[in-house]
Amino acid sequence: MSEEPFWKTKRLDEMDDREWESLCDGCGQCCLYKLEDIDNDEIALTNVACRYLDLGACRCTDYANRSTNVPDCVQLTPDNAGELNWMPQSCAYRMLAEGRSLQWWHPLVSGDPNTVHEAGISVRGKAVSETRVGDLEDHIVEWLNDQKRSGAPLLKGSRWPRSKR
């Protein structure tokens, strides 16, 4: 008789710190810059990563100090996990908040932290560091924008003055 895994039996707000942190699949998508259209609040996603994201491991190199290093780094919580429209559809926090199941490639399901990369979900090989980029508008990418909640088409020619991470 096997016991159900914690992510199937607990709500996000019932998880302990270890369980909560283990939900991160290591895709790195939340560490990419987002641009917001000032006219309609639409979010466009870029392939530009925060300088603290290790582009190979797809993990923050200074996770404990991320909020100090990057003051606008969003702290994911059980309350906002399903509300951040820029989070990828594949994010475990978002999926569970929306009542969906984890995908086969999630390390908690597969037992292998590399399946997120093998499945092509992570930003490994697809992102560039902010330290090597000029204009963020030149780095808006469709492969990420296809995953957005709204599914709305990317607006060409719009102004994107505010960036978010």
Look at the pTM and tell me if it is higher than 0.85.
Answer: no
Can you tell me the distance from the alpha carbon of 128 to that of 105, in angstroms, rounded to the nearest whole number? 23
Domain boundaries, the chain: 13-150+160-164
What confidence tens digit (pLDDT) does each residue in 47-105 have? 999 999 999 999 999 999 999 999 989 889 999 998 988 888 899 999 999 999 999 99
Give the three-class secondary structure for 128: strand
* Cα-to-chain-centroid distance, residue 110: 19
